[in-house]
Structure 1
């Protein structure tokens, strides 16, 4: 896949022959998988496509309306493609670890907003936000270092290079520098912080050349010294980058230079560089400003002294050392045009000019003043539009957070999502919403879509989605209800997702818990309904009933009971009783209110429980009396549906013929006879289907006639029972 184009292999049609599809009456269609963000691409009937999409061009319609030349039974390939590459093990570790910080940030926002409507004015909250943002920066740094190690990796090469994580590191740390200063320092000068960021992430000048020159006793005699010092202006650049120790060192190497003037000036400049005021060393900004002015006066004194050196003394046998030193002094003086010129000569970019501007040109430069300076600098040193990292830096320094997010999303959706998450509470994205989705939510959801490419990351995917208003919650629900539950039947090898002794563990439990955690009751009920259907297929009717009740899916409960009763018809009473043995606890857990509101379904459940209990009792010799009583109660109390009366009456035959004792009372036997006569009467009136269908299905090859014949044996058994009862009664 490239951009918005798919390259199919093998191709559906040869290159530059797409017209063949139209002439064949076909078109290309695509379908997005609800399981992940994969796409299936296939050929379809163009006529149907045109009729379903009126926006297609009329000429396309004309071609598509031609008779299809391809045989209707011809096999067509289906191509599958992922919109995003599934995260590798290394990338997954990055995703899961940074989720911890994201979750902590969401908890902070929720707690802070609950306690104080003006929570953003609270320095403690801002301090925690800054700490969590720095946690992001530190973790990215660790990933960058880890990815930089040249070690054998059994899982193969990294999905994202070390340079990619370095880019994330520079962008996120710059955001913290510019938009999350320590509380109380929002109005403080930003130059030193910006220079520190530059020196951390873009190390210059070259340490190799410096190490070589510093090892020489008289470095200026080396052929590379003056080119290093003048052409590259390493001392100026070291000074420019605020690397005072390195600058002082190289100035001190000139203490043995043959020129007395240069030696004297180098010593004084080294002292000036070493004494440059730093904001962090002052308790108040006004003290820093006063010290900076006095320091600039010392630099001016050096300039005056340099101007007094005769023209003929400004050279040595290598080069014009005075011009090189003048550039350095110009930087210390804070001459903006000289800073820009030197950076251009050094091949430095606009970032270096911005940092130097805040240190030398405008030491009291504020964050809110940076965009104006950046705009001026970019006129002469534009950023690289093909470098996404550079564009993120540009837009952040220009005070354009929205543009920064757009470039960050192209670099890595992880970056844009987590930057947007912090930008919103900082009021950097206020008042911007499209189709009910805020800018923050738009980037979070885009990242969640990327995560959805790996269905195994569903827990993380929904956590991001559920942080995004109603739209995100709805999308999170759709992810949850499509999580494969991987339920297995009892007796299979134990692994995640298996059912153990009526307890569900693994994915289903986790999905349910996630629904509870985020208060997604509708999604939870849907998942329970899906689980119930799976349990029915596995013939675990106890759990199926339990999950139907949990979902309050009463119609589904009725269907489960029907499936359970089908086991009696298909496999006999013993199998039915075994399958039904686990559903009794669910009946006991149903409240009285539910029993009243959904009586018809719960009534069927009650019958299944009572009937399975009856089947267990009738197999035990010492429980025959209880079995008889239970049978009569199911008929007398209208627990058994009419469709099952005939089956229950047939079950009574063995009990009626018990040779040891009379198991039915006279009233009980009369109840059996009444039900039997009602079946015969109604059947004669044409309503036999209501009473005989189930019994007929238990008779191999039987129908209503055979069912009535079997019921005649019940009538005979009852007649004999009444006769025995009359004989044995006192």
Structure 2
């Protein structure tokens, strides 16, 4: 197991060297991965599942360790993760648009220009993160999760990738030396500005031991301004020979051809040949200097100048030896090679040269940044991704994403895992993001950009996003749209993500989960809304049963409040005809019955009686609730000062009552009296039957009043 894969538990779950004692006791260490993030639960368990009760008690006292595989990203780290997602998303949209175009468009100049622009956007943003992390800003803990030097490493790697693999369209076959030198001077500044300032303050700078190394490196790096300044100082050197040679070197440095100054490479090549002839002439002039005149009081100036001329001549042995003497690494040798040894070197030629240089000056294997550079210079993108993942999984994910589009790596899986190399690194980065559940939106964006395995992982992440419905429900200042049944908050974001990636099954499952959570909080109105969104009609039926249960346990007042919250959803369903008949009837019954009790509470008896009759006329009441509704009619039949029911309505009530008595006598009492029995807190059907007898008496008296009323009328 690699060192980075080891979890260090403090204090240790088992002391060092005592694991065998644990095994002898019949126990072992086990672990489980938390589905909501990449936290690992580590614990001791019994190897034998059939343990005694005493052993179980001992197990329960064992500590549980929660260890995270990755440190949760800090605030400054999130700046990189969240903002570069914008670039990543734009790149995915570009790839999607390529699928609708003609074959090969992805490698066209138009597309490559856009890919290059997005890659440069990555580089620029990494630079901002580097600058931000490098500033001496006071912090609470005094440290950053990732140092400025870490972001500098990302900056150098990504910018080198752009230089070597994403040239401007039309410059694919152009010499690469100038761009590499600009990259080297931007990221690895040598010689230092401080050293130059110190030398420039001296009257005779050549007497300082750092003068010639500074001048040589300035010329090696193409820093013409600094080079010319200190060459001009040599015109005051005591040696007339050196003064004369210096006057020849200065115009050579000033006139060294640069590709950027030419519109045609052929002209650049011609200028390089003419310039090279002048350098050869300088070498001939130098060789004429007698041996005894090649020294001053401090050192052999001729050898120092000879090294500079050797660099200008493009002698690879001199370039490599001088770089080694200056303490430069292989990168400086490779870049100087492309400027002096082979000024017309193309990108595709660099791999061979780099291999030769690296064989003699290998990269530092302890520095992941240097290993990435070496792999990129050597034309080994797969090796570069491997080292990039060791440096930062962010880097390998985004480099791999672009590399696949450029066909630098194979888009097809090379083993039985079914995961391509690009997806492997993107999913590894997504798992890192998953260490912080709050970053679930970013996590699934990266997972859904992968093939089936990544998409299934994203589905599982969405199913476990904390919906925070309890917090929304208990907050008195919550958005009123939530109370109205709209899907907002975290759940809205999850729904939006599912719609965006066409994960309808996931969306419905999440809505079902939300509905279940809201039912437990008795927010039935919002729960019904989510059930409708999920088209979960069985779940909707269970919610209706829960609302009706509120009436049975607590009476009409609480029931009315809960049931009326469902009313807007019922209107929506009736308008869209989305729901099956049996569920629709039960929903309508709950809402109608709640409205009936609301009217009773407001003493709107005529309207209440009308609603009660509608329940029976439309046949929406379940048979188990007939008895309860009939008992509610007693107050209108017996105590109302006016006749609230027509004769036909009263006859329908009597018919339903007789149906109950008949079916009960036939042994089907449980189907008709179970709810009433619970409402009146009785344990037998007999008491429920007795309760219904009062309804029969009330109906008889109502019919009598009705006859009397008709007899004395006009």
TM-score, normalization by structure 1 = 0.93
- Is contact 1:13-1:20 (8 Å) kept? no
Distance in 2 (alpha carbons) for counterparts of 1:693 and 1:66? 45
Partner residue in 2 for 1:691 = 672
Gaps of 5+ in 2: none
Mapped pair 1:339 → 2:322: no
- Aligned-pair CA distance for 1:674: 2.2
Distance in 1 (alpha carbons) for counterparts of 2:390 and 2:115? 25
Distance in 2 (alpha carbons) for counterparts of 1:683 and 1:182? 89
Mapped pair 1:270 → 2:250: yes
- Is contact 2:199-2:211 (8 Å) kept? no
- Is contact 1:191-1:359 (8 Å) kept? yes
- Aligned-pair CA distance for 1:209: 2.5
SS of the residue 1:80 aligns to: strand
Distance in 2 (alpha carbons) for counterparts of 1:130 and 1:325? 41
- Is contact 2:472-2:478 (8 Å) kept? no
Distance in 2 (alpha carbons) for counterparts of 1:586 and 1:479? 29
Instruction: Describe the superposition over 1:616-671 as per-residue Cα deviations: whole angstroms up to 9, x where unpaired.
Output: 233344x4333333323322432111111111111111111134222222222222
Alignment of 1:438-587 (within 5 A): 438-487=420-469, 488=471, 492-494=475-477, 499-587=482-570
Distance in 1 (alpha carbons) for counterparts of 2:475 and 2:210? 74
Partner residue in 1 for 2:230 = 250
Cα pair distance change 1:493/1:2, threshold 3 Å: farther
Over aligned residue pairs, what C-alpha RMSD do you find? 2.2
Mapped pair 1:213 → 2:199: yes
- Aligned-pair CA distance for 1:564: 0.8
- Is contact 1:26-1:68 (8 Å) kept? no
SS of the residue 2:30 aligns to: strand
Partner residue in 2 for 1:52 = none
Alignment of 1:348-363 (within 5 A): 348-363=328-343
- Is contact 1:421-1:440 (8 Å) kept? yes
Partner residue in 1 for 2:57 = 72
Distance in 2 (alpha carbons) for counterparts of 1:489 and 1:211? 63
Partner residue in 1 for 2:120 = 134
- Is contact 1:189-1:364 (8 Å) kept? yes
Distance in 2 (alpha carbons) for counterparts of 1:651 and 1:274? 106
Alignment of 1:253-332 (within 5 A): 253-332=233-312
Alignment of 1:145-164 (within 5 A): 145-154=131-140, 156-164=142-150
Alignment of 1:192-211 (within 5 A): 192-211=178-197
Distance in 2 (alpha carbons) for counterparts of 1:426 and 1:17? 53
Distance in 1 (alpha carbons) for counterparts of 2:643 and 2:70? 75
SS of the residue 1:299 aligns to: helix
Distance in 2 (alpha carbons) for counterparts of 1:585 and 1:66? 55
- Aligned-pair CA distance for 1:594: 4.4
Cα pair distance change 1:611/1:140, threshold 3 Å: same
- Is contact 1:190-1:365 (8 Å) kept? yes
Cα pair distance change 1:39/1:642, threshold 3 Å: same
- Aligned-pair CA distance for 1:297: 0.6
Mapped pair 1:95 → 2:81: yes
- Is contact 2:463-2:509 (8 Å) kept? yes
Instruction: Describe the superposition over 1:563-608 as per-residue Cα deviations: whole angstroms up to 9, x where unpaired.
Output: 111111111112211111121221221257745x622222211211
- Aligned-pair CA distance for 1:92: 1.0
- Aligned-pair CA distance for 1:466: 1.9
- Aligned-pair CA distance for 1:501: 4.8
Cα pair distance change 1:156/1:502, threshold 3 Å: farther
Cα pair distance change 1:724/1:498, threshold 3 Å: closer
- Is contact 1:485-1:497 (8 Å) kept? no
Instruction: Describe the superposition over 1:321-368 as per-residue Cα deviations: whole angstroms up to 9, x where unpaired.
Output: 111111111111111112111112222111011101100001111111
- Is contact 1:688-1:704 (8 Å) kept? yes
Mapped pair 1:624 → 2:605: yes
Distance in 1 (alpha carbons) for counterparts of 2:53 and 2:216? 76
Deviates more, 1:451-460 or 1:355-364: 451-460
SS of the residue 2:583 aligns to: helix
Distance in 1 (alpha carbons) for counterparts of 2:702 and 2:142? 82
Partner residue in 2 for 1:711 = 692
Q: Which residue of 140, 148, 157 maps to 1:171? A: 157
- Aligned-pair CA distance for 1:495: 5.6
Partner residue in 1 for 2:21 = 20
- Is contact 1:481-1:523 (8 Å) kept? yes
The count of aligned residue pairs is 706
Q: Which residue of 658, 673, 685 maps to 2:639? A: 658
- Aligned-pair CA distance for 1:382: 0.4
Distance in 1 (alpha carbons) for counterparts of 2:127 and 2:187? 11
Partner residue in 2 for 1:366 = 346
Partner residue in 1 for 2:648 = 667
Deviates more, 1:486-495 or 1:418-427: 486-495
Partner residue in 1 for 2:627 = 646
- Aligned-pair CA distance for 1:151: 2.5
Instruction: Describe the superposition over 1:140-178 as per-residue Cα deviations: whole angstroms up to 9, x where unpaired.
Output: 112111211122123642110010011001001000100
- Aligned-pair CA distance for 1:391: 0.4
SS of the residue 1:590 aligns to: helix
Gaps of 5+ in 1: 49-64
- Aligned-pair CA distance for 1:530: 1.6
Cα pair distance change 1:113/1:490, threshold 3 Å: closer
Partner residue in 2 for 1:83 = 69
Distance in 2 (alpha carbons) for counterparts of 1:351 and 1:79? 46
Distance in 1 (alpha carbons) for counterparts of 2:641 and 2:196? 112
TM-score, normalization by structure 2 = 0.95
SS of the residue 1:238 aligns to: helix
Cα pair distance change 1:491/1:23, threshold 3 Å: closer
Cα pair distance change 1:264/1:496, threshold 3 Å: farther
